[in-house]
């Protein structure tokens, strides 16, 4: 790059340097923009990965809670069934006692 400046300076003088400077500035800005874009893309990808892992953890937690609730409901249903059977037997016994008296 320095050789190019030296060549232009020797050929066209200071005016040549001033004429070519916007092109050099555009190239520099383009390279910096490209590097900034890549860094931003990496940060966005990392953010997406963190969000995805958090959502996956939420799904896992929700499944765990749902399984626990299903266990509790099935236990409660079993208890209710046993209670109903006991109440039916008690009703039968009371009916027998009522008939005898």
Residues in the chain: 101
* Of 101 and 95, the one with more pLDDT: 95
Q: For the full predicted model, state whether its pTM sits above 0.85.
A: no
- pLDDT tens, residue by residue, 5-61: 787 777 777 777 777 788 889 999 999 999 999 999 999 999 999 999 999 999 999
* Of 100 and 86, the one with more pLDDT: 86
The distance of Cα 5 from the centroid of its chain, to the nearest Å, equals 51
Tell me 13's DSSP state.
Answer: T
Q: Looking at residue 101, what is its pLDDT?
A: 64
Q: Looking at residue 3, what is its pLDDT?
A: 83
């Amino acid at each position: 790059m320095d050789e190019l400046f030296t060549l232009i300076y020797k050929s066209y003088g200071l005016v040549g340097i001033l004429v070519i400077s916007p092109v050099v500035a555009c190239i520099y800005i383009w390279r910096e923009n490209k590097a900034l874009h890549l860094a931003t893309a990496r940060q966005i990808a990392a953010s997406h990965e963190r969000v995805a892992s958090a959502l996956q953890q939420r799904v896992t937690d929700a499944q765990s809670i749902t399984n626990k609730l299903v266990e509790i409901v099935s236990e409660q249903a079993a208890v209710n069934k046993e209670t109903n059977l006991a109440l039916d037997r008690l009703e039968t016994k009371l009916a027998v006692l009522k008939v005898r008296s």
